[in-house]
């Protein structure tokens, strides 16, 4: 298949590119290399791989690539609540308006595999479990844009939407600002973590399992077509405090709960991933696997330069 992957040099894209090439797909990455990282070097000797250094919003300049693609995976985005809050105009332009314009250029014979977010569930009750049919209550600008894009996506007849849990794990374009990655780094280097609203829960998924899920969607498109799927670890709906306790199994550090200040990100939810699991997809990497991987990975890179804001 001919696959157009925007944002292919990013945290997820630089991993996903390799998985797609292993399946012998023809992969064209579109990226403006905002973070100036050479994450795709190891793929450049593959005859099925092509890089276009361009802003994803230049749809006129990408007309031929869009038209000639069998599958389009729009990963390009300003990712995360803090970055979108800091760059509101760019967030609206890239995360929202760009995707709506892109959808209008896609034919009924092309497939769109769309990354969205389970942060769209917002803040749930203590025992409330969110499924794909639950009400969406996005809090951050990032989540609100993703919700609106997903609504437009469902007007197409050729899509799969993956509502991603909080992603973790090593990547060629590493991100320190993701919660698990950040907590492990701070546990190693600072030896302490201050928790705001440590009882707030999130769901988690390894970056490689996200890449595997996109490949799985391609291989199982007929049975998954025109559906939305939560993508996370079913046994990893953990509070920040529970996450710290899990990290303490491998790192000696101290954490303290600050009960007087609020977390700027008010997400708090439990997510069911049963729908995608029932199709036959199964994650390979546990939260413990990711923590051990991060501990090893942090030994070899200057992680301070790897963040989105």
| The CATH number of the domain covering residues in 2-305 | 3.40.50.720
Beta-strand runs (E) in the chain? 2-6, 26-31, 49-53, 71-74, 111-117, 129-130, 159-164, 166-168, 192-196, 201-206, 227-231, 237-239, 254-258, 270-271
Per-residue pLDDT at 194 exceeds 90: yes
Q: What pLDDT does 293 receive?
A: 97
3: its two tokens: 């696959």
Residue-wise pLDDT for 252-294, tens only, equals 999 998 877 777 677 899 999 999 999 999 999 999 999 999 9
Residue-wise pLDDT for 160-178, tens only, equals 999 999 999 999 999 999 9
In this prediction the pTM is: 0.95
Q: What pLDDT does 267 receive?
A: 86
Neighbours of 93 (CB within 10 A): 14
Q: What percentage of residues in the chain have a pLDDT greater than 90?
A: 82
Residues 6+ apart with CB under 8 A from 279: 220, 223, 224, 229
| Position 308 confidence tier, pLDDT thresholds 50, 70, 90 | low
Distance CA 15, CA 30 (A): 14
Residues 6+ apart with CB under 8 A from 243: 179, 180, 183, 287
| Position 303 confidence tier, pLDDT thresholds 50, 70, 90 | low
Residue-wise pLDDT for 86-138, tens only, equals 888 988 988 999 999 999 999 999 999 999 999 999 998 888 999 999 999 99
Residue-wise pLDDT for 70-91, tens only, equals 999 999 988 877 788 888 898 8
Q: What pLDDT does 37 receive?
A: 76
| Position 15 confidence tier, pLDDT thresholds 50, 70, 90 | very high
Distance CA 69, CA 109 (A): 10
* Nearest residue to 104 (alpha-carbon basis) of 145, 155, 144, 61: 155
Q: What is the mean pLDDT of residues 205-220?
A: 98
| Position 306 confidence tier, pLDDT thresholds 50, 70, 90 | low
Q: What pLDDT does 35 receive?
A: 76
Residue-wise pLDDT for 223-236, tens only, equals 999 999 999 999 99
Distance CA 58, CA 72 (A): 15
Q: What pLDDT does 85 receive?
A: 84
In the chain, what are the domain boundaries? Answer: 2-305
Distance CA 166, CA 188 (A): 20
Q: What percentage of residues in the chain have a pLDDT greater than 70?
A: 97
Q: What pLDDT does 7 receive?
A: 94
| Position 155 confidence tier, pLDDT thresholds 50, 70, 90 | very high
């Amino acid at each position: 298949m001919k696959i157009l992957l925007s944002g292919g040099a990013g945290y997820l894209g630089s991993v996903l590119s390799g998985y797609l090439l292993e399946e012998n797909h023809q992969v064209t990455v579109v990226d403006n290399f905002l973070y100036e990282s050479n994450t795709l070097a190891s793929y450049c000797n593959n005859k099925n791989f092509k890089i276009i250094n361009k802003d994803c919003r230049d749809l006129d300049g990408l007309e031929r690539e869009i038209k000639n693609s069998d599958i389009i995976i729009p990963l390009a985005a300003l990712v995360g609540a803090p970055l979108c809050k800091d760059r509101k105009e760019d967030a609206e332009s890239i995360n929202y308006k760009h995707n709506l314009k892109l959808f209008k250029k896609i034919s009924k014979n092309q497939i769109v595999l769309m990354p969205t977010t389970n942060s769209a569930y917002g803040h749930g009750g203590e025992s409330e479990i969110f499924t794909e049919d639950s009400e969406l209550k996005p809090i951050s600008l990032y989540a609100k844009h993703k919700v609106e894009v997903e609504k437009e996506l469902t007007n197409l007849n050729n899509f799969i939407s993956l509502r991603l849990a909080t992603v973790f794990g090593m990547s060629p374009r590493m991100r320190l600002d993701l919660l698990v990655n950040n907590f492990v780094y701070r546990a190693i280097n600072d030896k302490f973590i201050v928790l705001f609203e440590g009882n707030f829960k999130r769901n988690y998924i390894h970056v490689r399992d996200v890449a595997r899920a996109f490949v799985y969607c391609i291989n199982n498109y007929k049975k998954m077509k025109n559906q939305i799927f939560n993508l996370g670890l079913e046994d990893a709906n953990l509070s920040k405090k529970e996450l710290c306790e899990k990290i303490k199994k491998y790192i000696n550090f101290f954490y303290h709960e600050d009960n007087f200040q609020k977390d700027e990100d008010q997400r708090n939810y439990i997510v069911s991933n049963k729908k995608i699991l029932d199709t036959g997809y199964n994650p390979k990497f546990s939260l413990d696997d990711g923590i051990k991987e991060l501990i090893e990975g942090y030994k070899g890179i200057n992680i301070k330069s790897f963040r989105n804001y």
